[in-house]
Amino acid sequence: MEAIGSILSFIATYFAAKENVLTWPLSVIAMAIYILIFVKVKLYADVLLHIIYLGMYVYGLVEWLKKADGKQTFHPRYMRFRNFFLIMSVGVLIALLSMPVAVYFNDSMPYLDTIATVFALISTWMTAKKYIETWIVWWGLDVLYIYMYVSKGLYMTSLLHVTYLCLAIFGLYKWHRAYKFAKLAASAESDSDTINFNNHIVMETIDE
C-alpha cells in the first residue's frame, strides 16, 4: 500500500506541474491510502494530519474545476510580494505556536516536523490558487524532508523527495512559462481590441 501511495503522490505532483486537474483526485486517493496505513500502525496524529490534507485536496479539486467552468481562464500567477510575505510570516507564527504541542506528543523531530507540516498545508493552498511561488515553497520543503528522512535512515523515502525536488523545479518552470504566455496573449488581445476600435472610429469619420 505504501508503494502505491508513493507512486500516486509522485504522479499527482507531475500532473500539478502540468496544470492537469487529475492531480487532485490522485492526491485524494493517495491520502486515503496513507490514512489507512497510519490507522493500521496506530499513528493517530498522522491520521488527523492527513485528513486535513485530504480536505485541502478536495478544496483544490473544487477550486480548479470551478475556475475551469468560469468564463475567465485560470492561469498560474504570482502573488504580490506583500501578500507572500504576510502568508509566510503567519506560517512561521503558527509553526512557533505549534511546536510545544509536537514536543508534548514526543515527536522525534518536533521543530522541523512542525515547520514542514505548517508550510506543506500553506503550499497546498497556494497550489489550489495556482500561485507560482508554491513551487519555491515546495522546493524548500523537499530539501527539509530529505534531511529529516536521511537522519531517520529512511533512505527510500528521502530518495522519493529528491524526485519531488526535481518536479518542483520543473513545476516552477512550467507555471512561469504559462504565466508569460498568458500575459503575452492578454497583451496581444488588448492591442487587437485597440486596433479594432481605432478602425471603427476611422470608418465612422469616413461615413460622415
Task: Inform me whether the pLDDT recorded for 1 exceeds 70.
Answer: yes
**Which amino acid, 103?**
V
* 149 contacts 143 by C-beta, under 8 angstroms: no
Least confident of 28-37, 64-73, 129-138, 164-173: 64-73
Quote the pLDDT of residue 2: 74
Q: How buried is 142 (Cβ within 10 angstroms: 0-12 exposed, 13-18 middle, 19+ buried)? A: buried
Distance of CA 26 to the CA centre of its chain: 14
pLDDT tens profile 17-76? 988 999 999 999 988 888 888 788 676 667 777 888 888 899 998 888 876 665 556 789
Task: Inform me whether the pLDDT recorded for 102 exceeds 60.
Answer: yes
Task: Inform me whether the pLDDT recorded for 158 exceeds 70.
Answer: yes
Comparing 58 with 186, the larger pLDDT belongs to: 58
* 157 contacts 103 by C-beta, under 8 angstroms: no
